[in-house]
Amino acid sequence: MSYVRTSLLALSAALTLSSTPAPAADYNAEVTFRMFTATCMRRLGMPEEIKSWARDARLTPIQDVGLLATFVGQAQGPKGAAWVLPSPNDRKFTLSVRAGSQTCAVWAETGDPSTAEELFKKLVNEAARPGTKVNTEQDQSFTTQTGKSRLLEMSVTDDSGEGYKFTFMGGDQSGVFFAGAPIQLSMQMTRLPPDKNPKAQTPAKAAPAKPAAGKAAPGAKK
């Protein structure tokens, strides 16, 4: 098993066994974080395992075309799916596998973005163990028509070719993303193919040596 997969599984197990976690500054942000680690992290972002777990857990699938498109997108490639997560309060939480990239994502209707981002960054940074590397790929703050928002992308990779991208989205109010959709927070995890991991690029093969002058190449007819 690769270093990065071992590191993430160990981190997920530690979070699962933590029965008395330190309370976060915002309850909905903590619920979003816990749901993300219990679904995407525990299954290493593998779409078929996530879909199978959702069926076994009898989660309610989202079938409304417009709402489904919000959570899974409309990218080419493998289809996406989304489910309603059980909520401990009257707020809405959603699990999805995005179309195309097959990104595993948890979405929250509301929650404090600063608290959620702090939990998210701590989680990803703790994956930096011997044999793995954590990088910040994007760190942006921008303003949309409905408010201010944050986008943070971090990667966890190793030399074996294994890699994952973690994405955090947070807005200063619900509705800041996707033209007013009821979303304020999202935590996402995507498995990176080897060709997206710069450290795992296959070295270029050397060109075959040219035969010396006057000598035929091996296998050539005389």
Task: Render pLDDT for 60-109 as a digit per residue (tens, 0 to 9).
Answer: 999 999 999 999 998 888 899 999 999 877 779 999 999 999 999 999 99
Tell me what percent of the residues of the chain surpass a pLDDT of 70: 75
pLDDT, average across residues 184-206: 66
User: Is residue 137 pLDDT above 60, yes or no?
Assistant: yes
pLDDT, average across residues 154-177: 88
Question: Does residue 221 belong to any structural domain of this protein?
Answer: no
pLDDT in the model for residue 15: 56
Structurally, the chain folds into a number of domains equal to: 1
User: Is residue 31 pLDDT above 60, yes or no?
Assistant: yes
pLDDT in the model for residue 162: 78
Question: Does residue 35 belong to any structural domain of this protein?
Answer: yes
> Could you tell me the residue range of the domain that residue 86 belongs to?
3-198
Confidence label for 183 from pLDDT (cuts 50, 70 and 90): very high
Question: Does residue 22 belong to any structural domain of this protein?
Answer: yes
User: Is residue 138 pLDDT above 90, yes or no?
Assistant: yes
Confidence label for 177 from pLDDT (cuts 50, 70 and 90): confident
Question: Does residue 73 belong to any structural domain of this protein?
Answer: yes
Question: Does residue 217 belong to any structural domain of this protein?
Answer: no
Closest CA to 181 of 151, 145, 142: 145
Give the 3-state secondary structure of the chain: CCHHHHHHHHHHHHHHHCCCCCCCCCHHHHHHHHHHHHHHHCCCCCHHHHHHHHHHCCCEECCCHHHHHHHHCCCCCCCCEEEEECCCCCCCEEEEECCCCCCEEEEECCCCHHHHHHHHHHHHHCCCCCCCEEEEEEEEEEEECCEEEEEEEEEEECCCCCEEEEEEEEECCCCCCCCCCCCCEEEEEEEECHHHCHHHCCCCCCCCCCCCCCCCCCCCCC
User: Is residue 203 pLDDT above 50, yes or no?
Assistant: no
Question: Does residue 87 belong to any structural domain of this protein?
Answer: yes
